Chains A and B, each alone.
Chain A
Amino acid sequence: MVFENTSEVIRCETILKKGDWRIRVMGPPPEIRTGCDLVIEFPLIEELEILRALETENIFPLKVVPVSGPLLEPVNIFFTKDYGQFLMVRAANMKITVDKTSMTVVNISGGGCPDVPYLAGEMIGKPLDEAPAPRSIGHTLCGYALQLAYEEMIRKCSQ
């Protein structure tokens, strides 16, 4: 399923995962890529039911495209740098840094999509558990990458 923007993909993912649908967030096939996009991969046989579930939430995919080859997968490797008082986690091109003593987000770095400065403005200075999750206010793949770094940071900080 292809959507207008990444925020709609994220909304769709949230709804369908709550309903236990077998879906994955993936990269679009080459013929429909525009530059900053995600798609939802789902079993074609469940198309009608899934579209009905989304319709009740006022979400309408731009199109549904059958794919036969493998789709690109989101990044799943994280790099961590420990500065002593501060911890930085990087996912793809996005970095988040937290002050370990106060558990406050102190910096967000990297990225190239326009929601990165916006996300930084909304998250920096807030405790990790009170800062808005990037997926709740971000709109792009950089926002999604920051979400992955943010989740990894929470995991590291709760160990």
Chain B
Amino acid sequence: MFAIVGTVPNENFPLTCGPVTLSGRKLIIENQTVDINRGTPALLATAVQVCEFFDAQPPVAYLIGDIGRGAGSRKLYAYLEKTLPGREYDGLTFHYIQPDVDWHNRVLFAVSEMSERPVLIADAGFMYAAKMSGQADAYDVFTPDIGELAFLADESAPHPFYTRGFIFHEENRVSELIAKAYQYSNAARYLLVKGEQDILADATGILKIVSEPMIPSLEAIGGTGDIITGLVAALTGMGKDVQAACIYSSIISRMVGEMAEPDPGTQVIDIIKQIPESLKRFYSENHLNL
């Protein structure tokens, strides 16, 4: 079983923890419904569909409403600190949340008190806090886009907003940005860099580049990165080897994008609904099991 932690853009959404299911264009968690859109709901919707495809247990979500004021995030951090030591998960994915270094450290300490260490994945705001805390190497996977990779490579930036200009000029030299991120211990065991080409790397350098099918519009569509992270969360949460899960996720997400025939104005929900068919195609074409 695996869990996903994040926020939804509704201040009135209460702290909710439980297994997630899909109903049409909505997620159901406990007695709450959530619209599927960019952010943690897109990640969750992806993970739920992977679980349904493999007839596996659905993910457990830790969700709260926050529109950026941070109060919801702090309540969620506090709940995680209190409850995680008593839980058992194979994977734990942290996503959209107000970055806060002190709270991050308290949650990471709570993770260290779990009886079995889960596969740890961080993206979005939690990844920012993990980098700023200096404990990035406690994680198994970070899933940055190219702007976030530049932030990881800039040892002095506490948030992507402060990434220094000369670092941005190295955008076409992704391998150097990856090397810098590892040089300053600002990267997880694996980096899956999402972009026109998806690049999987570790401290030894680039391990795999996935660039087909190439769908340039996907970069503009909010939530497509959440699909990749949701795939990684689900596959690793069901026991797949981390490196293979990252490569599979990248290929499947591109197939999902291709099947949706998107333009830059397409919304992520119209891409997410292609996931079951893409999984079927990927696993049957490649004669693979989970």
Contact = CB atoms under 8 A, between A and B. Distances in A.
Interface string A80-122: 0101011010101111010100000011111111111110110
Given A35-B104, A36-B128, A93-B151, A138 B68 contact: yes
A34 interface: yes
Contacts of B41: 117
Interface in A25-53: 27, 30, 33-36
B147 A73 contact: no
B257 interface: no
Nearest to B161: A141
A76 interface: yes
A35 B98 contact: yes
A106 B264 contact: yes
Given A34-B100, A141-B159, A141-B161, A114 B68 contact: yes
B39 A139 contact: no
Interface in B143-167: 145, 147-148, 151, 156-163, 165
A90 B159 contact: no
A73 B165 CA distance: 10
Given A27-B158, A35-B98, A113-B99, A139 B69 contact: yes
Given A27-B162, A35-B104, A86-B263, A112 B124 contact: yes
B114 interface: no
A152 to B, nearest CB: 14
Nearest to B95: A112
Interface residues of A, number: 52
B282 interface: no
B77 to A, nearest CB: 11
B264 A35 contact: no
B129 A35 contact: yes
Contacts, number: 187
Contact of A114 (B9, B263, B264, B265): B9
B161 A97 contact: no
A108 to B, nearest CB: 5
B123 interface: yes
Contacts of A75: 160-163, 165, 168
B161 A34 contact: no
A72 B98 contact: no
Interface string B61-77: 00000111110110000
A7 B265 contact: no
Nearest to B71: A5
Contacts of A124: 267
Interface stretch (A15-23, A60-68, A142-150): A142-150
B219 interface: yes
Given A5-B69, A76-B165, A88 B160 contact: no
A125 B64 CA distance: 26
Given A36-B70, A75-B168, A83-B220, 19 more contacts: A35-B159, A72-B156, A72-B162, A73-B162, A75-B162, A75-B165, A76-B165, A81-B219, A83-B263, A85-B263, A107-B221, A109-B225, A110-B148, A114-B98, A114-B125, A117-B8, A117-B37, A141-B161, A142-B68
23 contacts: A34-B100, A35-B132, A74-B161, A75-B160, A75-B165, A75-B168, A86-B220, A86-B265, A92-B147, A92-B151, A92-B160, A97-B220, A106-B264, A109-B224, A109-B225, A112-B127, A116-B38, A116-B39, A117-B38, A117-B40, A139-B67, A139-B68, A145-B160
